[in-house]
Structure 1
Amino acid sequence: MRNSSYTRITGLLFIVCLAAVFLLNLILPDKTFSAVENRVLQALPSFSISKYMEGRYETKLENYVNDQFLFRNTFIRIKSAADVTEGKLEANGVYRCRDHYLMEEISTPNKHFVYTKNALRQFSRQYSDVKMYFLLAPNAANILSDKLPATVRMADQNSYMDSFLSDLRSFGYTTIDVRDAFRKAKEDTQLYYRTDHHWTSDGAYLAYRTAAKKIKLDTKTAYDGYAVKNDFRGTLCSKSGFVNGRDDAIKIYLPDSRQNYRNSVIYYADTKKKTTHFYQLDNLKKKDAYTVFGGSNHPMYTIQTPGTEDRTLLLIKDSYANSFIPFLSRNYRRIIVVDPRYFFEDIGDLINAYKVDEILFLYNANTFFQDDSLEMMLSD
């Protein structure tokens, strides 16, 4: 009898717990961003017959349930702690590598990537009178593959990049490939953070100088680099739970103080605030100190610059561009910055309203091959 009562009580408690979790998942507001993983979380997808038939609705709905699950970050931390205790080399898609590096798994193009390519092709045809450039940045596990554990074999990011860049050129885009420059510089320059998935300011500056040759930008402006934080631990530490024993330095680049330059004026449309600072130094005290580069995510903002060339650039980007943008301020009179993850207006209205001369897409390959927000924006 006692065992029977115990079983019934246990079963009832289990059902109550499941019901409570289910109800809380329905009631609690959805989260839009994960600081632990440094990525946008899936929102509740809208239903349409075409999305359902193509399989996109089911995929997004599954991602939505996974991303919005109650206590998700707590479960991630528990799993990470267990992986570290067991001495694993990998946790949550992050690997412990040589020379104190943590590196993310290489992402492969998802099954909906073909829609993104089709949208880019159509976009190029629609605005054939606008010069279009595409910089697809390689990730650390590609350029620094020699630092991966000997037993780890990742996907060949170069083959995916080569194929995609070839397609872009056939669509009429000018492609900017920084891989050769990065491979030559990697022994003398820290191109990626050890604890974060972004490139460093030195990596961004090298990418800018490489891009400048393709876009024909004046690179005469001299810059001085300043370390503003020496104990940075990025999102790969938080995501994996690995403590690699080596902090990173965050560096900012400023025009040579001996040159008399006026400041740019940055206007954030969503908050209706203005600033003259590309670098938000107060954010160095935050957990995600990488937000020193431009602050939090914004759907769209404009930069009015002191540049002498009367050129207007539309920059469509992910977070890799944040440390790249300050260098462009010496080459364009006006820059319109758009993050497709948050921008839900008509991109054509921006192009026409600001009389855009050039468009630069800047993404890192891991994010780009898995993200469908660009396709949604260009297809609207």
Structure 2
Amino acid sequence: MNRYDKLSQYVMAILFLIFIGLILFLNLLLPKKVFSESENRKLEQLPVFSFHSFISGKFTSDFEKYMTDQFVAKEIWVDVKSSVDRVIGKKESNGVYLGKDGYLLQKFVERSESELKEKVQTINSFHSSTPELTKYIMLVPTAVSVLQSKLPDYVSGDRERVLLNDVRTSLNPGIHYVDVYPVLSSRQNEPIYYKTDHHWTSKGAFYAYQQLSKQMGFTHKRDEDFDIRILTHDFYGSLYSKSGFRNLSPDSIELYIPKNEWEYTVEYVEEQQRTDSMYELENMKKKDKYTVFFNGNHPLIKINTGHKEGQKLLVVKDSYANSFIPFLTSHFSEIYMVDLRYYEGDVASLAQQHQIHDMLILYNMNTFVEDPSINNLTDTKE
């Protein structure tokens, strides 16, 4: 090897070290993001170190998630990797499957059995301590377990369904479990989930609303009772951004507007804002168009529907509820929406204060498994 070859190797090694150092420098010094608009979720923050968390492995696991979420120019790297993966025929990128007919499907990531048991125990404990509340729980299966025909041939969504059944059989018998898997599965050839986003569509939420009506005993509205308005044909959702898969057709977003709609008010309690619409149409100009429903997620929302004779409903929810709740405004006088990821109040006190007798817990199964905030249900706040 002559000296020029050695020199070129030294130069390449130095450039590589400079590149690694620059990436490390930027990761350390750039401000950390709290929320990802493209993925519509809170990003992991630097975990607090403790000897116990380090020994148990929780600290290293959380730190790895933190570094993944906060890595500099993450979306650019994801796009590059996904483009390479697609060229070589790979059907998975960053936890998202490239399915058939242009569907992107979020991979179901199972957490430890003990974490799931803790969440069920929390719900059962809350039920025992609040016997005056009639409780319903709707855990919505995600597209990966419902749209079996859209999955890559080597993927199965069976595990999510197994855990759904485990939760159902572990709940206190006094809690009404609303099983929406059969109705969604029977409609899987319809657009009940977005192709590029992890949420269900308004049509999927509509079928689940009809199923809830059978459990709660009210008469649901039919298709012909709504004006169905298409807001856009150009929606690229969270899975499109997260996966990096490109050259896919966009989604449409529909609103189901009751033909005989009552006047209502929507109050964002902690923000001290009030409006007469459940829809923020200005958000159709944004990247995350799903936030047209209630302008995204908020700690506490109160809806006064004008139905003086109706019951009051408390909904503990994730973002799947945002396109679901509008169907309920024809059946309740007041609806309180609590998102435990942001709400710092006491849920039992809230129900008692407003004399609420019916409660719905509504999560998609992926969020229910991954997000620990449901455990805040039994936390006593001052």
- In structure 1, give the amino acid aligned to 2:374: L
Match of 2:150 in 1: 147
Unpaired runs of at least 5, structure 1: none
TM-score normalized with structure 1 length: 0.88
Identity of aligned residues (%): 35
CA distance in 2, matches of 1:186, 1:16: 51
Q: Structure 1 residues 89, 133: CA separation in 2 closer, same or farther (over 3 Å shift)?
A: same
What's the counterpart of residue 200 of structure 1?
201
Residue 308 of structure 1: aligned partner: 308
**2:75/2:241 contact within 8 Å kept:** no
**CA-CA distance at 1:26 after TM superposition:** 4.1
The farther-off stretch of 77-86 and 216-225 is 216-225
Cα separation, 2, equivalents of 1:376 and 1:12: 50
- Comparing 323-332 with 303-312, greater Cα deviation is found at 303-312
CA drift at 1:236: 1.8
Determine if contact 2:26/2:72 at 8 Å carries over to the other structure. yes
Q: 2:99 aligns with which of 97, 100, 110?
A: 97
CA change 1:206–1:220 in 2 (3 A) is closer
Q: Determine the C-alpha separation between the residues in 2 that align with 1:349 and 1:49.
A: 36
Once the two structures are TM-superposed, the CA of residue 38 in structure 1 deviates from its matched residue by 2.8
Find the counterpart in structure 1 of residue 338 from structure 2. 338
How do residues 126-275 of structure 1 correspond to structure 2 at under 5 angstroms? 126-170=129-173, 172-187=174-189, 189-220=190-221, 222-243=225-246, 245-256=248-259, 259=260, 261-275=261-275
Higher mean Cα deviation, 230-239 or 357-366?
230-239
Give the letter aligned to residue 214 of structure 2. K
* Residue deviations 1:15-35 (CA, integer Å, cap 9, x gap): 665555445444433212223
Question: Which amino acid is 1:281 matched to?
Answer: L
1:251 Cα deviation from its structure 2 partner:
0.7
Tell me, in whole angstroms, the C-alpha distance in 1 between the residues paired with 2:65 and 2:317.
23
CA apart distance, 1:80: 1.7
Counterpart residue identity of residue 96, structure 1: L
307-316 or 22-31, larger mean C-alpha shift: 22-31
How many residues align? The count is: 375
In the superposition, relative to structure 1, how do residues 321 and 131 fare at CA in structure 2: closer, same or farther (>3 Å)?
same
Q: Distance in 2 between matches of 1:206 and 1:360?
A: 16
Deviations 1:305-363 (CA, angstroms, capped at 9, x unpaired): 12233422111111111110111111221111111222233333322322221211111
> Matches of 2:215 and 2:333 in 1, distance apart?
19
TM-score by length of 2: 0.88
Q: State the Cα distance separating 1:104 from its structure 2 match.
A: 1.6
Q: Which runs of 5+ in 2 are unaligned?
A: none
CA contact (8 A) 1:109 1:370 kept: yes
Counterpart of 1:31?
A: 33
Q: Which aligned pairs between 1:13-92 and structure 2 lie closer than 5 A?
A: 21-46=23-48, 56-92=58-94
By how many angstroms is 1:294 displaced? Answer: 1.3
Deviations 1:185-228 (A, max 9, x none): 233x3211122121111110110010011112232582221112
2:325 alignment counterpart: 325
Verify the 8 A CA contact 2:78 2:244 in the aligned structure 1.
no
Secondary structure of the 1:156 match is helix
Does the 8 A contact of 1:232 with 1:248 survive in 2? yes
Residue type at the aligned position of 2:205: A
Q: Tell me how far apart the structure 1 counterparts of residues 44 and 83 of structure 2 sit (CA, whole Å).
A: 25
Q: CA deviation at 1:57?
A: 4.5
Q: 1:325 to 1:50 in 2, by over 3 A?
A: farther
Residue identity opposite 1:191 in structure 2: I
